Every structure is written in structure tokens, then in C-alpha cells.
Amino acid sequence: MTLPKDFIEKYQEILGAQAQEFLASFEQEPVSAFRTNPLKKAQKVFPESIPRVPWGHYGKISGKSADHVTGLVYSQEPAAQMVAQIAAPQKGMRVLDLAAAPGGKTTHLLSYLGNTGLLVSNEISKKRSKILVENVERFGAQNVLVTNESPQRLAKTFRDYFDLIVLDAPCSGEGMFRKDPDASRYWHKNYPAECASLQREILVEAMKMLVPGGRLVYSTCTWSPEENEMVVSWLLETYDTLDLIPIRKINGMVDGIGIPEVARMYPHLFKGEGQFIAHLQDGRQLSAKRNKIKSATSRLSQEQKRLWQDFSKDNLITEPSGTLQTFGDELYCLPAELPDVSKLRIARNGLHLGTFKKKRFEPSFALGLALTSDQVKRSVALTDQQFRSYVSGNPLALNVTYLNGWYQLLVDGNGVGFAKIVGSTIKNFFPKGLRF
């Protein structure tokens, strides 16, 4: 790989005797890894666990595999997995992933929350927010609001709201050069300082949304001190209630430059790509009487209520918890205790339950992914061959006749959506945009 001359000189100065080994690591293959999804009922044993990393494994996964399509696994390199592991939200928390696409950290945070509390997953880019929604839905979480907003507009709605904020900030991307060599072409010696200016702007808005006593995890996928330790120093100087929480160094992580409490990951020391992480605690006193947020009210018509209740009675053992709301003909279940989000651009308004169509209710693909097999009354297990045929858009012929109606389709025990069975035929309801 051809690295910029100024980049080489910069890290020769920063790393000294380690610079040669560091620069040589760019000629090695990037490290692939994935996480398993604890929200899924049917788990598997995978080889090559990452030491001291819950759910983490080395290796590649296929986007066309049943494990990927059902959301059992999520591809994420090892250094990136450290961010949510350090954040480690407790169940019931209100959490913000402020720059969330494509969804690796969001889905990892959801693993800790376990369908409790609330995660607001934000991505300012409309195009990237669509990818984020797709990954969140596949993961099967029910307690997520995906927004497509600027930090400034979010801060107006979520003032003093979140127990934990994770900002994996837009950065110069030095730690991704090995995965994406083209990224090195955009790098110049002033680029890290330019990125740092944006990072500080975002952090000003993030601090407005942090509840007194809350935690902030700041990370980048770069090694530049301008974007890392210098930004952390600025945070500590600007907000005198913030203190650093020391990060335990595992698997080759090292102390920050001049700030031992933060963590750096270099590819010649850590089996993964580049990452920087700082963990901060706000020292303000949290009021014993936390402000209560009035939950959104249901807007269903009487007919819509009846259609949903009929579907639920016939098909579900356990309903998703939250507030039912319609947006046009689409039915959603919103997480509890949301403030008024009507002025925000929403990419995923909670869990999409389905669509009202001509006096009937059709369950969504997302609902069939989110529910486990013990939460539905009727399911059908597909073979590997049937799965491959189904995801390519074909109806399936069964050897036996079933009662007509909706069934959750299962692959290796995990849901791959709902489908309607008529006699001995499974009609195809796999989304056209996802077929392969």
C-alpha cells in the first residue's frame, strides 16, 4: 500500500522505534470478525472466539448465509467491537448512538440492552440511514428509534435525556486504510485538524443531551492525536464536570498519548484495525426525581385496532410492548417514554408491525425477525434448500397441508419473516429488495 509521505513521517515521529512495525502492518490483510446476536433464541457455537470479548469471533460471514439473513451474526472487525463493549449499557437505560451507520455499534449496544430501555440510533446521511434501518431490523431489536438528523436538531428534542451517549465520530479514517486503501488518497496533513473541528461541534450538542451523572463514550477510527487526545483534553477543559473512566487494556490495547486512561488500538499490537476510545463520566448530581416523559398516544382507528387484535389473537403468544401508532397504513410499536419526536426526521419509528390492506392486516418482515419462535403460535421450519429458494423469491411447496393463515418461517430456529400458507403452498413474502 502506498501511504502519504506526511502520514509516514508523522507516525515515525509519534511511534519512534515501533514505527517500522506499524507501517509494515499496512501490507497485511485486514482482520475480519463478527458478533453473535444474543437476542436470537436459537444460538450456535462458532470457532475462534475473540479473547475477553462477549459474542465476538474472528472470521468472515457470508451476507447470503441463513445466519446473516436471520440476524444471528453481524460482521464487525475486532477493534470496532471494543467501543460498545466499553460503553456496556445496563438494561433499562436510555442510550444514544449519535453517528450510527452502518449499525455495528448500534446492534452491539442492543445486545447489552436486551430489548429493555431505549436506543436512539442516529445517522445524518439519508442514504446511510437506510442501511442502518436494514441492519437494525435484521438484528430483531424492538426498542429502537432510528433518526436521520443533525446533532443540533436532536439536542432540541432530547435535552438532558440520555444516560449514555456513544459518539463514534466522523474522522480522518486512518485506522481504515488497510480495509479501504482508497481512504488514504483523501488524507492530507491538515485533514485531522479539520475533522477535529467537526468533532468538537458534535460533542457540544452531545453534552446538551447527556443526563446529569451520565456517561459519554467518544471514539474514532484514527490514530491522530488532534482528533483523539486533543479532543478529550478540550472536553475536560470545557466541561469541568467530566472525568475520565480508565479503560482496562485487553488484547493489545495501549494507553493514549499523555492520557493513560484512554485506549488506542494499533494493528501491529492489536489483532484488528485502528481505533481510539475515551470513556467519560459526568459528575453532576442526578435528581432522585427524574423527569418523566409522557408516552406517545395511540392513533389507531377502531377498525385498525380490531384488525391488529385479530391478528395478534390468532398468531401471537407475546405482543411487542410499547405504544401502537399508525403512519399512513403502516403500524408501528414505539418504545415507551419517548418525548415528542414529531419534528424529527424518522427513519424507523420503533418496530414496524405491518400494513393495513383492504380490511386485513399483513405482518411485516421486521416483526417476523424480531419475534422468537416461543412468541408466535404457528411456525414452519425451512430446510437449507427451501431457504435458498425462498430468499430468491419463489413460493414453496410443502409435503403436507396446513391450516390457511400466517406462519413465522424459521431457519435453524430463528425467524426469517412471516409468510402466508394456503393449503400446501408457502406464498413468498420475502422483501423484493433483499432477494438474492
Q: Which long-range contacts (CB under 8 A, 24 or more apart) does 307-313 make?
A: 307/356, 307/359, 307/360, 307/361, 308/353, 308/361, 310/361, 311/354, 311/361, 311/363, 311/406
pLDDT of residue 242: 98
Please classify residue 180 by burial: count the beta carbons closer than 10 Å to its beta carbon, then call 0-12 exposed, 13-18 middle and 19+ buried. exposed
Indicate if 333 belongs to the active site: no
* Residue 125 CB coordination number (10 Å): 12
Is the pLDDT at 277 greater than 80, yes or no? yes
User: 453481524: which residue's cell?
Assistant: 74
- Is the preceding peptide bond at 102 cis, omega within 30 degrees of 0? yes
pLDDT class of 1 with cuts at 50, 70, 90: confident
CB 227, CB 275: distance < 8 Å: no
CA distance 143 to 223: 34
Q: How far is CA 135 from CA 66, 144, 391, 393, in A?
A: 15, 12, 17, 20
Single out the catalytic residue among 171, 195, 221, 333: 221
- Percentage of the residues of the chain whose pLDDT score is greater than 70: 97
CA distance 43 to 303: 39
- What does R_g of the chain's alpha carbons equal in angstroms? 23
Give the distance from CA 72 to its chain's centroid.
14
Comparing C-alpha atoms, which of 323, 2, 341 is closest to residue 183? Answer: 2
Contacts of 76 (CB under 8 A, 6+ apart): 33, 34, 35, 104, 108
What is the end-to-end Cα distance of the chain in Å, rounded? 34
What nine digits make up the cell of 235? 472536553
As annotated, the binding site includes 99-105, 123, 168
133-179 pLDDT, tens digit each: 999 999 999 999 999 999 999 999 999 999 999 999 999 999 999 99
pLDDT of residue 289: 53
Contacts of 101 (CB under 8 A, 6+ apart): 123, 125, 128, 129, 131, 132
What nine digits make up the cell of 103? 449499525
Q: How far is CA 214 from CA 10, 96, 217, 230, 367, in A?
A: 36, 11, 10, 22, 32
Is the pLDDT at 288 greater than 70, yes or no? no
26-68 pLDDT, tens digit each: 999 999 999 999 999 999 999 999 999 999 999 999 999 999 9
CA distance 72 to 89: 21
As annotated, the binding site for S-adenosyl-L-methionine includes 99-105, 123, 168
pTM above 0.85, yes or no: yes
Mean of pLDDT values over 244-260? 98
CA distance 136 to 151: 20
- Domains delineated in the chain: 5-282 (3.40.50.150)
CA distance 254 to 15: 12
| Helices 104-113, 78-87: crossing angle, 10 deg rounding | 40
pLDDT of residue 299: 79
Residues 353/357/360/365 CA torsion (nearest 10 deg): -30
CA distance 430 to 364: 10
